[in-house]
Every structure is written in C-alpha cells, then in structure tokens.
Structure 1
C-alpha cells in the first residue's frame, strides 16, 4: 500500500484581505475627497444622490456625455464630471459609481450636520458670554 500524497496547505487569505482593505481605504479616500470638493463647490447632498440615481439608471457613459452642464453650477459640474471620468478610467461600472456617489452624499450630509451643530454650539456659547 502506498501512502497518500500530502496535500498542499490551503492558500492564505491574508493577501486578499490586505488587498480588500487597501481597496476600501482607497475608496474611502476618494469618497472623502469628492465629498469635500462638492461641499466646497456648494453641491447639496441631494444633488449628489440624484446624479447617483441617474448614473445607475442611464449608465456612467450617458452621464459623462452630459458634460459639466449636468449641474446648473458649471464649477460643481466640472468637479463631478472629473470624478465620473476618474471612475471610468479605473474601470468602475455604473452600479459601483452610483454606490460611491451615494457614499459621498451620506458623507456630505454628515459633514453638513456636524458643521451646523458646531455653528449652533458656537452661536449658543457666544450668546451666553455676552453680558
């Protein structure tokens, strides 16, 4: 009788986990950067959410074809167009791009709420200091 051949150990999951973590970090950085740019350009979270819906429905290329004029504010449209072109360069599909835009909209909302709360706290503290 011959002894069974030893089997190779299962592949380690660590490299895949590291790659996934790296991709999540890169996505998080893109989302934060775009949220900051859109906030700076005065784009409300609701507009970002609407663009995400159009990307998901009509497709990334169709929205890119609209150009910067997709938004009333040309500067804001340029910021958004650059982000969509970057997504296409990275080979990201419409559904993934829509998901990133929705994450951007959530972050825009959180930042707006934080800034509003901070402004309210500052005003309240300032009013109480006056004598």
Structure 2
C-alpha cells in the first residue's frame, strides 16, 4: 500500500492505519504487527489504532534497520536529476513509480528483507 501526501499529521496517519488494517484484514481474528519509527504522528496520544493492529517501534536513530528506508532509492529513481514544471507533474511520476513497485513484490522484498528479519511462508 502506497500513499503520497504533501504533509503528515496524526489524523491522516490514523486514517491510513484504518485503510491498512482493512487492506490486510486486521481485526479480532487477525493480529498484525506494524513496525514503525518514532515519528511524532506515529506515537501521538490521540492516534487511533484499529483493532487487530499492534504498533511496535524501532529504537531511536536507527534508519539502518528500518525496511522502509531502503525503499527511498527505488522511489527516487525516476526523479533524480529531472526537472518538473509543476508539483502535479512530479506527483504523477511518483504515483506511477509507486504503482509499478506495488506490482513488483519481488523487487520490494529484495530491498526490504534483512537476513535477520523473520520470514513467513
């Protein structure tokens, strides 16, 4: 699941968590652990975490063990050294890249599965 936004806050992240939970089927019969960094909107007291989702947090200042950090080179690939006339143009290029990556799970896994990360069959 990809989401491109021009800002972040607790309300938006709560809505994204609800969408993610629905997408993966989290609920009373399926428990999903989501690993996050300690960004302010991830740890806010008024964050709404849907039933079936559990948030676990990485240690501070540890981007090297955050799988999502390894996706930035993939998302940046089509925009490096490019000029865009408008933000809408940039947004469309990034959205297309995210759509193509979403269809290429093998490439995502190759960049995000660490040798020490638990694997599921």
Q: Shorter-chain TM-score: what band? A: under 0.3
Normalized per residue, the structure richer in helix is 1
Question: What TM-score does the superposition give when structure 2 sets the normalisation length?
Answer: 0.27
Normalized per residue, the structure richer in strand is 2
Question: What TM-score does the superposition give when structure 1 sets the normalisation length?
Answer: 0.25
Larger radius of gyration: 1
Q: Which structure has more RCO (C-alpha within 8 Å, separation ≥ 6)?
A: 1
